[in-house]
Amino acid sequence: MKINVISIFPDVMETILSMGMLGVADKKALVEFKVVDPRDFTEDRHRTVDDEPYGGGGGMILMAPPIVDAVESLDVAKGSPVVLLSPAGRQFDQVMAKRFASELEMTFVCGRYKGVDERVRELVITEEVSIGDFVLSGGELAAGVCIESIVRLVGDVLGNQETSETDSFASKRDYLLDCTYYTRPVEYRGHRVPDVLLSGHHKEIENWRHESSLDRTRRLRPDLLNKKN
């Protein structure tokens, strides 16, 4: 899978993309990252990418030409997602992560400042995505969040596919939180690992884990109980 990112902070983005599982996926050639700086598509001495909004008001707006030129320089296949990260977008979730993970190529455009010139949306953006109802100063961390959750679903990145198949939200039918887990020691400060997990009975363990998933979802995220994948 090829993932492109348009950002006026290419160093920040390159650092995020080289860390942990993303760095491993890159090294294993399971993904190919490309970061493009819109400043490389400016013509003035200051490499200006932003300006004041027409009509006044505070804040700076990312200009259309450097962003649109940066996206067009990638020459992405027709129909490949070009996603603008902004608090106005549709909320990112695991279903969206799976859809993006099935693409051969996709592009994230990181917004900044007060927003982007509307012509960016009109000319190159195919959808707008938010990571939650809060405002960041820019889309770089949001892109990192989305890319991390997409790439862990690609091919054999995790080494053990089962690991992502049992993640919270990963079931084909339900939208449940993952169960609780324990590892050594069996007893810690008077808290014991449930006996069933030590029993070796796979069917009973599976049942216990399903109950644990339901219990955690009821307690922590009851809003998910009626949600279907």
What residues make contact with ligand ADE under the rule CB under 6 A?
85-87, 111, 130-132, 134-136, 139, 142
Beta carbon nearer to ligand ADE, 89 or 213? 89
d(CA 63, CA 49): 6
Q: Which amino acid is at 200?
A: G
Strands ordered across the beta sheet of 32-36:
32-36, 2-6, 105-110, 82-91, 127-130
Nearest distance, CB of residue 131 and ligand ADE, angstroms: 4
Cβ 144 to ligand ADE shortest distance, Å? 11
- CB-closest chain residue to ligand ADE: 142
Neighbour count for residue 41 (Cβ, 10 Å): 19
Nearer to ligand ADE, 64 or 136 (CB): 136
The CB-side HSE value for 80 (13 A sphere, CA atoms) comes to: 18
E strands, the chain, where?
2-6, 32-36, 50-51, 61-62, 82-91, 105-110, 115-116, 127-130, 187-188, 191-192
Asked whether 129 and 89 are in contact (CB, 8 A), the reply is: yes
Shortest reach from residue 25's CB to ligand ADE, in Å: 22
**Is the CB of 130 or the CB of 164 nearer to ligand ADE?**
130
Residue 25 · residue 150 · CB < 8 Å: no
Cis amide bond preceding 65, omega within 30: no
Between 88 and 186, whose beta carbon lies closer to ligand ADE?
88
Least gap, CB of 114 to ligand ADE (angstroms):
10
Q: How far is the CB of 3 from ligand ADE (least distance, A)?
A: 16
Closer CB to ligand ADE, residue 38 or residue 139?
A: 139
